[in-house]
Amino acid sequence: MTITIYHNPACGTSRNTLAMIRQSGEEPVVIEYLKNPPTRERLVELIAAMGIPRVHCCARRARLTRSLDLAIRSGRTIS
């Protein structure tokens, strides 16, 4: 299994998560999403694959979330 992390080096939570993955002995594929943002379609795919509401994975005030129109709207899932 390949582990991929969409990473923001300026975010403490992201840095801690990356460190935990590496401490487990895995070397993940690291995508710095601010430098290489995923398309809206890719985000929709990722969220659907996780099977969770987008409220659990997208920061409401994040610039990327707003720019891709993924803001939380009454907890609906992305379609």
Q: Is 58 a catalytic residue?
A: no
Is residue 74 within 8 Å of 54, Cβ to Cβ?
no
Long-range CB pairs of 7-12 (<8 Å, 24+ gap) are 7/31, 7/32, 7/33, 8/32, 8/33, 8/34
Q: Please identify which of the residues 11, 19, 20, 29 carries the catalytic annotation.
A: 11
Which residue numbers are catalytic? 11
